[in-house]
Each structure stands twice: as C-alpha cells, then as structure tokens.
Amino acid sequence: MRKKHLKIHATSGALLGMLMALSPAVLAEKWDMPMAYSATNYHSAVGAEFAECVTTGTSGSIEIVTHPSGALFKGAEIKRAVQTGQVPIGERLLSGHQNENILYGFDSIPFLATSFGDSEKLWKAAKPAIERLLDSQNLMLLYSVPWPPQGMYFKQAVNSVDDMRGLKFRSYNNATARLAELTGMAPVQIEAADISQAFATGVVETMISSGATGYDRKVWESLTHFYTVDAWLPRNYVMVNKDIWLRTTEDDRSVILGCGRLAEYAGLWRAREYTGFTLNGLRAGGMSVGPAGEALTMQLKEIGKVMTSEWLESAGEEGRSIIEAFEAMR
Ligand code: PCA
C-alpha cells in the first residue's frame, strides 16, 4: 500500500541507480492514511488539510492520501495496520486501546475533564506518558484532536438509571462498555461508521457519544433524545510507524511535525465550532436536546465515581501522576 514512484524521468538505468543511491529526496512516497470517521466530520477534514499541508510542504516527496469512513481499515484495525507498516500513518480513537494499557483510557474518566479547556489540560498532563507508550509500540504520536463532550442518546425520555436497564447499548471503548454494565445495559461494540444501520435494525437502541457523531450518522432517523451529560471528551490521534518515520529525511520530518501542530490547533477550534452546530443539527432533525434531569445526573455522577476509582486503582502510580499534573493546571 506504500507505493514509491520516481518523480523524475530517467532514461538510463545507471543514472537512475545513482540518483537513488545519492538522493533519497528525489523519491516520492505515497502515504495512505486510514481514518475511521465520516468524511464530513471535522477530524477527517483536518486530516485532509494535514495531508495537503504535508504534500505541499514536502514538494510532493511525501504525498499523504486520507481514507475516511473506515474505507481502508476499520477503526479497530488502524493501529495494528500502522504498527506493522501495512500503512505508514493513520488516525484512531486513543481510548480504543485501553484494553492494551489502562493509561490509554485517561480521557474517558467520567466527569474529570468535561470542557474543551480542561480536556486540553488533561491532554498536556497525559501526553508524555502516551508518547512513551506509543513509542514502545513502534509508533510516533503526531497530533491529537478532541471529540465534543459526550452525552446520552435514547429513543424515549429517560429520567433515571432504572429507565436504562436492559437496553442494548452501543459502546466504543472500555469506559463506555463499563458504563453500560454499571447501568444494567447490554454493551455491543460498534464502529461509528456502522451506527445508523445498527440503530435502524435494532441491534442497539442507545449510546453515549458526541452530538457530532449523532449528527454525522443522522441518528434522528431512529432516536429521539440527546442528553448533554458532558461526561468526558475522548480524543483521536494520528500516529506514524516509527521505522518509516526514521527513514524519512530531516526536512520532511520537520514539515510533517509543523503540519501536525497546525492540525492540532485547527482541530481544537473546529471541534468547538462543530459542537454547537451539530446540537442544532440534531434539533433540526427533530430530536429533543438538553441537559439530563437532576436524578439521572446524580446517578451518573455516582457511577462516574466508581469508574474513576477503578481506573485509578488499575493505572497505579503513573495514572495518579497524570491526574495530579492535571489538577495542578486547573
Ligand atoms: N464519537 C466517536 C468517539 C467519541 C465520539 O464522540 C464514536 O462515537 O465512535
């Protein structure tokens, strides 16, 4: 999938060989970049801008081509594909790796960081540990962009946890699955790309996610209520295979890092903007959108406490120091 082609046309094989030996910069590489979320979502838009920035900035010596909507690899397959060099670069939901290491779930601790501002602080606190973890898995972290705050979707009004018991719940990571267990729901892991179908066919009937994902997948076709619980703001991140990274020229690397910083900045602002836009979009689709009632909010906070202590217990010293560093920044 990683195709190399010559940018210059050489007629002589000898000349070609000489150029290849002397100047790796004349080789143009195509980097396929799998992404799991819909092409219209801002994560994918930022990814496309990042790709263009790199392609232009390296004068085409590295051409990045994004493949949104899980078209090349599904979300759950992307990290492995990059780790093993099947593709050089890709985007994935960070907390999707919590089953590999508890630290990856730092951004899905209920009610710890519930605003964009706090989410950035928490990211700053966790980033060194996450970079180390990824590095130990042959990956280089390039940039990361948050999702909007997570709320709960239903197909009827829900006023307490009792109303949730027995529902079939769409999960996307360990924290969401645990939330389902603690509220008596049955979790089924489903990729964002497959949500509309899953709701339409009744495979699931509720979920926690952002207004953004509900909007992207037109969930008003099946669901009626979105409660803006603001439970947490999970993050996507873009990773590069470390072997491939180390083989790129220093000039190209600095372009890629610069484009990554721009993408992170642009992504955060787009996330903020997309939040209000998509909540209005859900309303326009006919959904009731607003905060959860007091009783449900209090019950969810109690469940949040359980999940927080479970996370802290398994994450040990390293987890605690992330939370402490975050608290110190607030
Ligand atoms: N959307 C993604 C992850 C978090 C979010 O808001 C999803 O539901 O899969």
Residue 55 falls in which region: left (phi positive, over 0), alpha (psi -120 to 50) or beta: alpha
pLDDT, tens only, 133-189: 999 999 999 999 999 999 999 999 999 999 999 999 999 999 999 999 999 999 999
Determine which residue's CA is closest to atom 6 belonging to ligand 1: 210
| Residue 227 pLDDT greater than 70, yes or no | yes
For residue 206, the cross-strand partners are 169
pTM value is 0.92
Q: What pLDDT was estimated at residue 14? A: 56
Which of 35, 97, 172 is the best mutation target for the ligand 1 pocket, counting ligand atoms within 8 Å of the beta carbon and taking the most?
Answer: 172
Q: pLDDT category, 9, cuts 50, 70, 90?
A: very low
Query: What are the tokens at 195?
Result: 């949500």
Residue 209 CA: nearest ligand 1 atom is 6
- The band of 10, judged by pLDDT with boundaries at 50, 70 and 90, is very low
Q: How does DSSP assign 131-155, residue by residue? A: HHHHHHTTEEEEEEEEPPPPEEEES
Query: How far, in Å, CA of 221 to CA of 286, rounded?
Result: 9
CA 146 to ligand 1 center in whole angstroms: 10
CA atoms of 207 and 234, how far apart (whole Å): 15
Please name which of 232, 208, 234, 69 lies closest in space to residue 152, comparing C-alpha atoms: 208
Check whether 73 has a pLDDT greater than 60.
Answer: yes
pLDDT at 27 over 90: no
Ligand 1 pocket check for 93: Cβ under 6 Å: yes
Closest residue CA from atom 3 of ligand 1: 209
Span 111-122, average pLDDT: 98
Q: How far is Cα 130 from Cα 163, in angstroms, rounded to an integer?
A: 37
Residue 257 tokens read as: 């890092």
DSSP classification of residue 29: E
Ligand 1 centroid – CA 273 distance (Å): 16
Atom of ligand 1 nearest to the CA of 148: 6
Measured distance CA(265)–CA(286) in Å, rounded? 33
Average pLDDT over residues 198-225: 98
Using CA atoms, how far apart are residues 246 and 261, in angstroms rounded to an integer?
Answer: 19
Rounded to an integer, the average pLDDT of 252-267 is 98
Residues 6+ apart with CB under 8 A from 149: 114, 115, 210, 228, 229, 230, 231, 232, 233, 275
- What distance in angstroms lies between residue 51's CA and the mean position of ligand 1's atoms? 22
* Cα distance between residue 146 and residue 107, in whole Å: 9
State the pLDDT at residue 82.
98
Ligand 1, atom 4, residue with closest C-alpha? 209
